[in-house]
Amino acid sequence: MLRYLGVSVETVNGAVSVQGGARPQAKPILVPGDFSSAAFFLVAGALVPDAQITTKNVGINPTRTGLLDVLRKMGAQISVHNVREIAHEPWGDLSVKTSELQGVEIGGALIPRMIDELPIVAICATQAHGVTVVQDAQELRVKETDRIRAVAENLKKMGAQIEERPDGWVIPGPQQLHGAVLDSFGDHRIAMAFAIAGLIAQGETAIEGAEWVDISYPGFFDDLERITQL
């Protein structure tokens, strides 16, 4: 971004150096849509019957898009189009439609590329055929809440089978989820993940502390309501 503003920046072997004395030039800056926010709608598009969703102008830097690899591995009908580069960052439009999914194993080098998307992946796993294993994700224990525990507790309230492990979960599928009163645990991503779970559950789902979504996506519930009414 500094290079875009007229400042000399050099990257060598992971080290970044900036040339002093430069005078940044004001320019309009375009910011891509957050992939982590788009992730909830990508999973909704794959899970909700007769759905088709396109999210436009999303940042698709490969260091952040592990979820795309996992969804494709699970069999999701998902495509990336209109790819371009703006301000040295890759952008694209992402389209997904209702898909029949298969369980997968997720771990290793994939985890850092999708650590924030793992709660919504757990929801996805409940609808996949076979067993999904998430491992090497112990970092989830020290996010805004212990996300491994939060996901397990809420899914059990919805009647799902899930094995909580120190570094992830084992989730068989497909399973019918049932509406329940759930806890956001003060965590925006837990609230959003279980809002998507509510779309595929039988009965009504209520999320206590849903206002925590405002931390990262203030318009999430408005957008969710709008697309579900199309």
Tell me the catalytic residues. Answer: 116
Backbone CA torsion sign across 100, 101, 102, 103: negative
- The closest alpha carbon to 43, from 101, 82, 83, belongs to 101
CB neighbour class for 179 (10 Å; exposed up to 12, middle 13-18, buried from 19) = middle
Alpha-carbon distance 143 to 84, whole Å? Answer: 32
**Cis preceding linkage at 174, omega within 30:** yes
